[in-house]
A and B are shown apart, each in its own frame.
Chain A
């Protein structure tokens, strides 16, 4: 018998109402790991920030956003990607409080960094952006460390 790696893919149009769908889908998928309720809340916020970033910035018109999640041993890996414009200055975009839209706090990437265990952002002009992060289930880590 071999171990399966469970994964999911969600492809959604870049509509604001789909941000909720994406975070709920990933949270439901993550429930197979031993995440605490507060960790699930953090995961939902992280997914929401990544998908919101794609909805707001990736395309000038309609476009698709791909949300992939994979459950590993005790942690989840999530990748939110688009085939849009890309981010021209990634370092600037990731600065706390940086925003190009009034009434936004510019905290999306700060939240992603704070609420996840690892974060990688890759962006290419005209080819899109991918935001990849991992989140470990602390409960699982605690259980693993028990004698």
Chain B
């Protein structure tokens, strides 16, 4: 399960906001672990804002995008908000193709997302 560990390196809870720094590859194999860990942290920290940084993500396909959109749906159900930050240029074409960028707020930096979400 080394790949699954690599897909999620850092999670911080800051005053009701969960900041997730994803890394590695988000595909069918890693997105299952990603999904369950984020869900668990949102619940245990009672967070209503979720910020996911994709800065260190090296690959994403529709499985990974499904995991991101699934978290957005969950946060919306909870009355919360979610944003993406630091999208690498190599991931942008797939994110644009999927329509995810039309649904989710995107910020350049974590700081800006923390201020404005």
Contacts and interface: CB of A to CB of B under 8 A. Distances in A.
Interface of A: 16-17, 19-20, 23, 37-38, 41-42, 44-45, 48-49, 52, 55-56, 103-105, 107-108, 110-111, 114-115
Interface of A, secondary structure class, is helix
B29 A20 contact: yes
Contact of A104 (B59, B63, B93, B97): B63
Report the interface size class on chain B.
20 to 34
B28 A107 contact: no
Contacts of A41: 59, 90, 93-94
B28 A19 contact: yes
Contact of B29 (A16, A42, A108): A16
A38 B91 CA distance: 9
A115 to B, nearest CB: 8
A135 to B, nearest CB: 14
B55 interface: no
A104 B61 contact: no
